[in-house]
Amino acid sequence: MLFNSLGFAIFLPIVFFLYWFVVSKNLKAQNTLLLLSSYYFYSCWDWRFLFLLIFSTLLDYYTGLKMSNSNSQKSRRFWFWTSICINLGFLGVFKYYNFFASSFAEALSGLGFNVHPSLINVILPVGISFYTFHGLSYVVDIYKNRIEPEKNYITYAVFVSYFPLLVAGPIERATHLLPQIKRKRSFDYYQATDGLRQILWGLFKKIVIADNCAQYANMMFENPDHFSGSGLLLGAIFFAFQIYGDFSGYSDIALGTSKLFGIELLQNFSFPYFSRDIAEFWRRWHISLSSWFKDYLYIPLGGSKGNTWMKVRNTFIIFIVSGFWHGANWTFIIWGLLNAIYFLPLLFSNKNRHHIEIVAKGHFFPSTKETFSILITFGLTVFAWIFFRAESVSDALNYISKIFSSSLFEIPRFPKMGRAKTTILLTVFMLIIEWLGRENNYALEKIVPKWKAPIRYAFYYAIIFCIFWYGQKEQQFIYFQF
């Protein structure tokens, strides 16, 4: 069930009505409704994988209780590693087995040995990377004595499978989400209207920006030989806005939907394309994943402490693992490597924490230096996105080589140029609104409510019109494949 589907447009009001008008006085009933709704939501993708989700939930729930009740560190360690190995084992089999088997066979082939490994032909369970990381963080936090295990199964199961975040995040922490699930919730009109506003903006970014940019990005990445260097460069930029509109749009819809039920989720995007360096970009892009890797991988490895070699090692590990998390393909690993290389100058100069506040805070325009920094960071990011989007490393290299040709300076020409220009104008419009609202949690949070009612509602109707007028056939979200 897609957020941008008719099915979800029917599902959400029904759950909302039952939640606030039927079971609102009973917290246990509210949580049970959320759990059953989440399981139904997930089963709409493929009901068979619902059993994998339930098994993973039971495993980590039971592991938490066993670790808490263990009388020895040896027993705690046994349950901890049992959960870690099983969770990562499922993730490895479904997501990475074919990659490792094929890569191993290719390596042996280079040495003169012909090996034909048995590959598995199975659909990747949607959201497996996200709910696995929910469970892993919960188990680690209990093992490290940061939290107490949740004794109520329904409460814990909602934490893992809460439908707004189930299939593509944000990756929540038990310390943030569990207390909200356990607390009695009352309807808040301002919170609900704010949620609807955020949903509307998320749908605009997904349906109007991402899905339309996808047409041209797909066209150029699938047939690079048919376009000029300037056209391919434009295609890479189209993909940059496709993936941003797609994933940040999803996150806005997820956060807005959750607000309708009185639950606040972690912010997942904070205007990353306004970043002045790559470190700032990663503090603003997919925030929940970046912070997860920082807390559960980077810091345990030593973080930025230790000698220069350790800092460099830890930087490459976290970016390579981040790339590999996105998919079983060498393109993602190279994408991670590129971002690690981008990060090194900041690490060596101790400027990786240089830009903490949003750019031009309190000012309408950025300085000349900030403008150039934003453009350079965006350019580096777009270059790395080429590897992220390409089907193979050779495809990415071919795409890049054709960009940097003599045709780079030609006026780009491709089919449906008129509609492409409209897409560019709509993307510029999105950037203007995001720039105006960049100091808030999402673009419309504070700026639109300040407008007079006629202007405010005209804006809402214009956004709704664009969604219906420029909307394509239902398009799946990119991050569902991760």
User: What DSSP string runs through 345-391?
Assistant: HHHHTT-TTS--SPTTTT-SS--HHHHHHHHHHHHHHHHHHHHHHSS
Is the residue at 49 inside a domain? Answer: yes
Same domain for 472 and 404, yes or no, is: yes
CA distances from 190 to 5, 98, 218 (A): 26, 48, 40
Domain residues for 170? Answer: 6-187
Please report the pLDDT score of residue 112 as a whole number: 63
pLDDT at 475: 75
The answer to whether residue 331 is domain-embedded is: no
What pLDDT does 432 receive?
96
Are 132 and 173 found together in one domain?
A: yes
- For residue 399, count CB atoms less than 10 angstroms from its CB and return exposed for 0-12, middle for 13-18, buried for 19 or more: buried
Interatomic CA distance for residues 278 and 26, integer angstroms: 47
Contact between residue 426 and residue 209 where contact means Cβ atoms under 8 Å apart: yes
Do 73 and 110 lie in one domain? The reply is yes
Q: How far is residue 3's CA from residue 194's CA, in Å, rounded to a whole number?
A: 18
Q: Is 362 contained in some domain? A: yes
Q: Based on the fold, state whether residues 49 and 179 are members of the same structural domain.
A: yes
Residues 6+ apart with CB under 8 A from 97: 119, 120
- Are 455 and 462 in contact, with CB atoms under 8 Å apart? no
Say if residue 26 is in the same domain as residue 134. Answer: yes
pLDDT at position 236, please?
Answer: 96
Q: What is the pLDDT along the chain (482 residues), one digit of tens a residue?
A: 788 888 889 999 999 999 999 999 999 999 999 999 999 999 988 888 899 999 999 999 999 999 988 888 999 999 999 999 999 988 888 777 666 666 655 665 656 666 556 656 667 788 888 889 999 999 999 999 999 999 999 999 999 999 999 888 799 999 999 999 999 999 999 999 999 999 999 999 999 999 999 999 999 999 998 899 999 999 999 999 999 999 999 999 999 999 999 999 999 999 999 999 999 999 999 999 999 999 999 888 887 777 888 889 999 999 999 998 888 789 999 999 999 999 999 998 888 888 899 999 999 999 999 999 999 999 999 999 999 999 999 999 999 999 998 888 888 888 778 888 999 999 999 999 999 999 999 999 999 999 999 999 999 999 999 999 888 776 777 766 66
Name the nearest CA neighbour of 149 among 67, 206, 213.
67
- Among 155, 187, 219, residue at a domain's last position: 187
Alpha helices by DSSP H, listed for 6-127, are 6-21, 27-46, 50-69, 73-91, 97-110
Same domain, 86 and 215: no
| Same domain (yes/no): 245, 372 | yes
Cis peptide leading into residue 345 (ω within 30°): no
CA dist., res. 358 & res. 274, Å (int): 8
Instruction: Give the chain's length.
Output: 482
Note whether 118 and 247 are same-domain residues.
no
- What pLDDT does residue 12 have? 95
Tokens of 157: 């199961």
Count how many domains the chain has: 2
Domain boundary pick from 187, 213, 245: 187
pTM of the predicted model, to two decimals? 0.92
* Contact assessment for residue 325 and residue 289, using Cβ atoms and an 8 Å cutoff: yes
Helix H or strand E encompassing 158: helix 153-161
296-309 core/surface letters (b: 16 or more CB in 10 A; e: else):
eebeeeebeeeeee
Does any domain span residue 125? yes
The answer on 155 and 131 residing in a single domain is yes
- Asked if 475 and 408 sit in the same domain, the reply is yes
Residue 155 sits in the same domain as residue 114: yes
Whether 25 is covered by a domain: the verdict is yes
Instruction: Give pLDDT, residue 102.
Output: 64
CA-angle at 90, arms to 87 and 93, nearest 5°:
145
Half-sphere exposure of 28 (CA within 13 A, CB side): 2
pLDDT of residue 97: 66
- Residues 177 and 197 reside in one and the same domain: no
Residues annotated as part of the active site: 326
- Residue reference for tokens 């830890």: 314
From residue 388, give the alpha-carbon distance in Å to each of 221, 383, 395: 11, 9, 11
Count CB-CB contacts under 10 A for residue 90: 17
Within 8 A by CB and 6+ apart from 342, the residues are: 278, 380, 384
Is 292 within the bounds of a domain?
Answer: no
Residue 149: its H or E element: none
264 falls within a domain: yes
Find all residues with CB under 8 Å of 271, minimum gap 6, and list them.
284, 358, 434, 435, 438, 443
Specify if 316 maps to a domain.
no
Instruction: Dump pLDDT digits (tens) for 179-205.
Output: 999 999 999 999 999 999 999 999 999
> Which residue among 187, 207, 241 closes a domain?
187
**CB-based burial, 41-64: b 16+ in 10 Å, e otherwise:** bbebbeeebbebbeebbebbbebb
